[in-house]
Structure 1
Amino acid sequence: MRQILSFSLFILLSVSAFSQKITRDEYIRQWQLVAIEEMNRSGIPASITMAQGCLESGNGNSELSRKSNNHFGIKCKSSWKGKKVYYDDDRRNECFRSYRSVKDSYIDHTNFLMENPRYAGLFLLDPTDYKSWAKGLKRAGYATAHDYDKRLIRIIEENKLHRLDKKMTFNPMGGQTAHNLLGTDNSGALTISPFKTHKVTTINRVKAVVAQKGDTYEMLAQELGLKDWELYKFNDQRPGYQPVVNEVVYVQHKKKRTTKDQLTHRVQQGETMHYISQLYGIKLNPLYRRNNMKRGEQPQTGQVIYLRNKKK
């Protein structure tokens, strides 16, 4: 029964994991697929989106990006109907947009440029001409810094972000083998997929992958042909949650109960109901109901949790 734990060293997050700053390299690897996805939708070079994200969010470390998922410094404007936060910027107590997730910030960045007439001329440029795009953003007044275009170009060239404009991603996994990348298309021909890097395993007859460094639900969803909201739902997680290294991420609905050979679980110190739900691949709400517990209530050390049949 405890063999499943090899996939499950993931629930308790340390304080240091939250306090540790994200490096630029980690930030790029984390959000590169979203930048490419937005390029496919709009024609905005992925290198420009990525460089702006790095610059405006401090590689995801700024207070605005950490607390409000705003990675592009976009202010509210009169058209904004979503959540708002206030920070001192060019003026005191200015209104900034707040997002449900980082991906929503990337999507809104695209929409902001596409829907604002002053950026219309940018979309006449070659989508691989990142220098002209950077200069165009400066002329259009995206930011007040006099060298804004030069900063973007420097970030792109120092980090070779122009590769993203050709959909050449930076491999987020250091030790992947060619076997992980091989597949077949509809005709049976051998193909290579740079995004297919996670081995799918099963727990309680439910498919799952193990998160690696830099993974996000958004990245995993793109790789596996799912929506990010589906992964949040499959794993009983709140929007915006990010997995940690070695965390089990279910890629389909968990079961309502375990198999007949796993009837109960005795709670160890520090274990939560969500931990037990993920450990055995069973849905969280039925687990609460089966044990006559209220949602949010946590078990005591040594308590027996019923996994398959209702507690008498």
Structure 2
Amino acid sequence: MMKIRIIVFLLALSVVSCTSSKSIVRTSGKHKEVQKKQPVVQTNKTNTNSKTPSIVSLEATSNVKTYAEEIQLYIENFKEIAKNNMKSHGIPASITLAQGILESGAGKGKLAQSANNHFGIKCHTGWQGDSVRHDDDAEQECFRKYEHPAESYRDHSLFLTSRPRYSNLFKLDRGDYESWAKGLKAAGYATDVKYPDKLIGLIERFELYKYDNEVLSRNFMPTKKEVVLAQGSDYYTIQQGDTLYSLSKRFNLTVEDLKKLNNMSDNAISIGQQIKIK
């Protein structure tokens, strides 16, 4: 009898031991199958190929800020159209591309987005095509609307070739983009006094003169301009490769000092722009 009791006791002890080895998971509501989660390992990933984009401020009929990479993509999309128009109408491809970039904000401006109008061309008398309304010099002015940006490029060429006030442009060397930029301003294409400098800055920064070279079968390279200090050395003219940080080191200022001196809200600068350094 004692042996039987010992055997029963040992069997009961074995059952209790097995039961207690199982983990108990409590869930609210219905029973759910619970899986153990793998531990999460957090790592600080660094993209060694990433570069800080270069911001370019474009102010004309379209007041936008865009990246140099976006401008380069815009150039790739429209360089052949600009070259073909140069062959057909005599307007330097570099000038057409620079105006397209500046006027449309590299395709990001409102008119470019809503009307495929990359040059801010207004309806004017005799326009029979579609149009959109947009605030410019006055409220809700009439601007031309196109089915495709290529039509805007063609109309830009026709606009310049068909109006007498631009006739002097076509007496200029087709490879002389600086004279064309200044001639556009003199003929009244834009009221901005810095318009020629902005066009020239874009042409030289993004090497748009290369497309003139391809049409003219030449190998022109602009001469590197010397650092320009003007107005009693109180102002500096932005050159290719300049940044506010590099200028702050050159002139022993902080970036914030330069921004305050020039009433700048961000770090965007453009070639040919003059900034105050004292």
Give TM-score scaled by structure 2 length: 0.52
User: Which of 140, 151, 163 is the equivalent residue of 2:210?
Assistant: 163
Partner-residue secondary structure (3-state), 1:95: strand
Question: What's the counterpart of residue 10 of structure 1?
Answer: none
Aligned equivalents of 2:114 and 2:136: distance in 1?
16
User: Which of 89, 94, 99 is the equivalent residue of 1:42?
Assistant: 89
Deviation per CA, 1:51-96, whole angstroms, max 9, x where unpaired? 0000000000011001100000001100211111111011111110
- Amino acid across the alignment from 1:57: S
- Amino acid across the alignment from 2:173: D
Partner-residue secondary structure (3-state), 1:39: helix
Aligned equivalents of 2:83 and 2:203: distance in 1?
14
2:114 paired with 1:67: yes
User: Which of 123, 142, 151 is the equivalent residue of 1:104?
Assistant: 151
Aligned equivalents of 2:199 and 2:170: distance in 1?
18
2:123 paired with 1:76: yes
Aligned equivalents of 2:99 and 2:79: distance in 1?
12
Aligned equivalents of 2:71 and 2:214: distance in 1?
19
Deviation per CA, 1:269-300, whole angstroms, max 9, x where unpaired? xxxxxxxxxxxxxxxxxxxxxxxxxxxxxxxx
Partner-residue secondary structure (3-state), 1:92: coil
Question: What's the counterpart of residue 85 of structure 1?
Answer: 132
2:137 paired with 1:121: no
- Amino acid across the alignment from 2:72: D
Aligned equivalents of 2:127 and 2:181: distance in 1?
25
2:182 paired with 1:152: no
2:91 paired with 1:51: no
How many angstroms does 1:167 deviate by?
Answer: 1.8
Partner-residue secondary structure (3-state), 2:142: strand
**CA root-mean-square deviation:** 1.5
How many angstroms does 1:136 deviate by?
Answer: 0.3
Deviation per CA, 1:222-280, whole angstroms, max 9, x where unpaired? xxxxxxxxxxxxxxxxxxxxxxxxxxxxxxxxxxxxxxxxxxxxxxxxxxxxxxxxxxx
Aligned equivalents of 1:59 and 1:137: distance in 2?
20
Aligned equivalents of 1:119 and 1:140: distance in 2?
6
Gapped regions of structure 1 (runs ≥ 5) = 1-19, 169-312
Aligned equivalents of 1:65 and 1:56: distance in 2?
9
Question: What's the counterpart of residue 24 of structure 1?
Answer: 71
- Amino acid across the alignment from 2:109: S
Question: What's the counterpart of residue 270 of structure 1?
Answer: none
How many angstroms does 1:26 deviate by?
Answer: 0.3
- Amino acid across the alignment from 1:50: L
Alignment of 1:270-281 (within 5 A): none
Asked which structure has the greater CA Rg, the reply is 2
Alignment of 1:284-299 (within 5 A): none
Aligned equivalents of 1:117 and 1:152: distance in 2?
22
Q: Moved runs in structure 1, 4+ residues, more than 4 A?
A: none
Question: What's the counterpart of residue 183 of structure 2?
Answer: 136
- Amino acid across the alignment from 1:29: E
Partner-residue secondary structure (3-state), 1:153: helix
Deviation per CA, 1:108-135, whole angstroms, max 9, x where unpaired? 0000000011000000000000000000
Query: How many residues are matched?
Result: 149
- Amino acid across the alignment from 2:184: L
Question: What's the counterpart of residue 142 of structure 2?
Answer: 95
Aligned equivalents of 1:44 and 1:148: distance in 2?
17
Report which structure shows greater RCO (CA 8 Å, sep ≥6). 1
Aligned equivalents of 1:96 and 1:133: distance in 2?
24
How many angstroms does 1:166 deviate by?
Answer: 1.4
Alignment of 1:213-252 (within 5 A): none
Partner-residue secondary structure (3-state), 2:133: strand
Partner-residue secondary structure (3-state), 1:167: helix
